[in-house]
Amino acid sequence: MLKIKNLLKKYGDKTILDVKSLEIEPGITHLKGINGSGKTTFSKIISGLIPFQGEVRLENTLSPTSTKVAYRKAVNYSASEPNYPDFLTANDLISFVGKAKEASKNDLKSIPEIFGVDAYQNDPIGTYSSGMLKRLSLCLAFLGNPSLILLDEPFNTLDTSAISLLKNRIETLNQEGVNFILVSHQDIQNLGMTAHATYLVENHTIELVK
Amino acid sequence: MKAVLHVINRCLVITFYKQNAAFFGLILLVLVGFIKSSEHIAIGSFLVANPSALFYLYFIWIAYTVKVILFLIPTIHKKENDFLESYFLLSQWIKMASVFIASFSLMVPMVFYSFFLIVLAINTGYFMSILSLLIAQIVLVSSMAYFLYLKLNSLPFEKSITTIKLISNRIKPPFLFFIEYVLRNEIVLFLLSKFYICSIVIGTSLLYKTDQFDLRLLTTGVLLAFIGNVAIMHKYVWFQHHQMVFSKNLPQSFFALSRQYFLTIALLIIPEMVVLLRYYPLEPTILDLVGIMLFGFSITTLLYGLMIKKQTELGDFMTALFWIVVITTFMILFAVHPVVLGTVYFLISMVLVYLRHYQFEYQES
């Protein structure tokens, strides 16, 4: 599903990631590692947010550098600490992202309802709690028709009902062919989720654990 | 005490100067770029010789104090500064000393200029002016300190953001996002930039009444005017690549991206375009009108494009600005028509956006 070759990410002289070769198979993948190991940097690279050296290929044909539009249609992302302009409303973002991701009218209505964002989607983002912000970020990540969704620390700041909702959504979409990479320092099995593979981000590289 | 000062300094003072780097850059551009040192001394000498004239300066200082206060109010109540609620637990002497030092730091530009005037006044023996300046400093710094003390010492309150209802509750198109940000958070910078740009445009147009000039003078004037958008463009880069970084995950074609960028910039420069049309000094031909407007627009887009070529602080970008002015002035003198200059600069901007939009990564210093 996802092939990585000679991925190098540095900030100045500091190497964050140096992954020679990595292949992530379809399914639900758990990416874990300690704080500061480079998990979020990896997820930002794969979602096309930050530049990098090396090669990233999705389904052998799509790349964030050469097929920019097609790749970004296929890959969605939810940040661990979402950061949006505080004067915008959830409605503004859902409309903007939904239009870009070619989400259906039905999805633009139902997905905010699923994540409970519809209750406050006309309020400015600056008034949201961290949990509300997280729900919005997750809602945006499920818009469109992606083949890969990256969720960075998806269960942080969510309440029990939201965690259950998210788990169901992930499992349902996975059965429909959508792949997930869940970036979390927590063990997702404790939350009742089963990952097809687990990778560990350590010493600037990523290795298969199980 | 050291720890308290360090925290207030980092959260409020340094943040103020960082966020207003563009504003101070613009002030420096005017003060250093256009006014000679002998003229500074002449202006300062006039002010200290006429204590009543100092009141015009005090008006500007009061406006600056208001600007600082307008910055402090939302900053203190930001989520990441919630821990400042613990301030009211500190001892009275630490609270008062820390706010005085912070206020002094926030008012440093004013204090420096005041010090310059006091030195002039001492040299010329205008002791009433010295007294007036000292009293003004004490009053303004103390007012700032008192305000900061009250704000930090007060109980926390729930923050609310009023929505500028541009079009009722309807969704804003993305090219309006930065416009709203500027109107909410950078209104002083916006107004100062427009004041500078429009002044240069009007000043250049008025020169045509004194002698026979061709289009080259107006083109040069437009160049010097529109580079005044440098501060706003610096903010736009931060907004687009930091606040809106999530949009880099969106499948936007180059056409959609560039349309968004250039629509935003076109809206931002409407005030100076209106002034340019209103004060157009020559017989307007279609080619000249379109050319001069395209040229002004392309200078602004070029500023944005160059800023995403490589992240630089606004102060460091002044070198690039200098070379833009020199090279463009050279071409203007050789009668390169503004429509040609405008087209070339606009194309360069488009290429830079195409190459750098996804490769540029904004990093907090």
What domains lie within chain A, and their CATH numbers?
2-85+139-208 (3.40.50.300)
Residue type, A135: R
Q: Does B253 touch chain A (CB under 8 A)?
A: yes
**CB within 8 Å: B246 and A124:** no
Task: State the CB neighbour count (10 A cutoff) for residue B7.
Answer: 16
A140: nearest CA partner in chain B: B246
Return the residue in A41, A80, A88, A97 with the most chain B beta carbons within 10 A, the one to mutate for interface testing. Answer: A88
Measure in Å the smallest separation between the Cα of A112 and chain B Cα atoms. Answer: 16
Q: Does B304 touch chain A (CB under 8 A)?
A: no
Give me the interface pTM, i.e. the ipTM: 0.90
Q: Does B163 touch chain A (CB under 8 A)?
A: yes
Residue B255 three-state SS = helix
Measure in Å the smallest separation between the Cα of B187 and chain A Cα atoms. Answer: 15
**CB within 8 Å: A87 and B184:** yes
Return the residue in B163, B166, B177, B249 with the most chain A beta carbons within 10 A, the one to mutate for interface testing. Answer: B249
| DSSP secondary structure, B100-137, as one string | HHHHHHHTHHHHHHHHHHHHHHHHHT-HHHHHHHHHHH
Q: Does B171 touch chain A (CB under 8 A)?
A: yes
**B291 vs B338: CA distance, rounded Å:** 5
A50: nearest CA partner in chain B: B361
Return the residue in B239, B246, B252, B361 with the most chain A beta carbons within 10 A, the one to mutate for interface testing. Answer: B246
**pLDDT value at position B98?**
86
* Spatial contact of B291 and B339, defined as CB atoms under 8 Å apart: yes
* Spatial contact of A51 and A124, defined as CB atoms under 8 Å apart: no
**pLDDT value at position B161?**
54
Q: For chain A, state the CA radius of gyration.
A: 17
For A8-23, the pLDDT digits (tens) are 999 988 999 999 999 9
DSSP letter, residue B165: -
| DSSP secondary structure, chain A, as one string | -EEEEEEEEEETTEEEEEEEEEEE-SSEEEEE--TTSSHHHHHHHHTTSS--EEEEEETTTB-TTTSHHHHHHHEEEE-SS----TTSBHHHHHHHHHHHTT--HHHHHHHHHHTTGGGSTTSBGGG--HHHHHHHHHHHHTSS--SEEEEESTTTT--HHHHHHHHHHHHHHHHTT-EEEEE-SS-GGGGT---SEEEEEETTEEEE--
Between strands A75-78 and A28-32, the pairing is unpaired
Give the one of A69, A71, A95 whose C-beta lies nearest to B171's C-beta.
A95
Q: Which of residues 125-164 of A touch B (CB under 8 A)?
A: 126-127, 140
**pLDDT value at position B165?**
53
Regions in chain B scoring below 50 on pLDDT: 166-168
**CB within 8 Å: B161 and A73:** no
Sheet holding A205-208: strands in order across? A75-78, A148-152, A179-183, A28-32, A197-202, A205-208
Cβ contacts of A51 on chain B, cutoff 8 Å = 358-361
**pLDDT value at position B293?**
94
A67: nearest CA partner in chain B: B251
Cβ contacts of B363 on chain A, cutoff 8 Å = 11
**pLDDT value at position B276?**
93
Paired tokens of A20: 């020679």
Residue B245 three-state SS = helix
Cβ contacts of B243 on chain A, cutoff 8 Å = 83-85
For A38-68, the pLDDT digits (tens) are 999 999 999 999 999 999 999 989 999 999 9
Cβ contacts of A95 on chain B, cutoff 8 Å = 171
DSSP letter, residue B155: P
Paired tokens of B337: 């028509």
Label residues A182-208 b or e (16+ Cβ within 10 Å = b).
bbbeeebeeeebebebbbbbeebbbee
Cβ contacts of B180 on chain A, cutoff 8 Å = 87
Cβ contacts of B242 on chain A, cutoff 8 Å = 83
Measure in Å the smallest separation between the Cα of B133 and chain A Cα atoms. Answer: 40
Return the residue in A9, A44, A46, A49 with the most chain B beta carbons within 10 A, the one to mutate for interface testing. Answer: A49
Paired tokens of B117: 């005037």
**pTM metric for this prediction:** 0.76
Q: Which of residues 32-91 of A touch B (CB under 8 A)?
A: 47-51, 64-65, 68-73, 75-77, 79, 82-89, 91
Helix axes B177-185, B187-207, angle to 10 degrees: 100
Cβ contacts of A89 on chain B, cutoff 8 Å = 163
Cβ contacts of A148 on chain B, cutoff 8 Å = none
Could you read off the pLDDT tens digit of each residue along chain A, which spans 210 residues?
899 999 999 998 899 999 999 999 999 999 998 888 899 999 999 999 999 999 999 998 999 999 999 999 999 999 999 999 988 999 999 999 999 999 999 999 999 998 989 889 888 898 898 889 999 999 999 999 999 999 999 988 888 888 888 999 999 999 999 999 999 887 887 777 888 999 999 889 999 987
**pLDDT value at position B322?**
87
Measure in Å the smallest separation between the Cα of B27 and chain A Cα atoms. Answer: 27
**pLDDT value at position B32?**
77
**CB within 8 Å: B249 and A47:** yes
**B293 vs B285: CA distance, rounded Å:** 12
Interface A:B, Cβ pairs < 8 A? 84
Q: Does A101 touch chain B (CB under 8 A)?
A: yes
**CB within 8 Å: B358 and A51:** yes
Sign of the dihedral defined by the CA atoms of residues B249, B250, B254, B259, in that order: negative
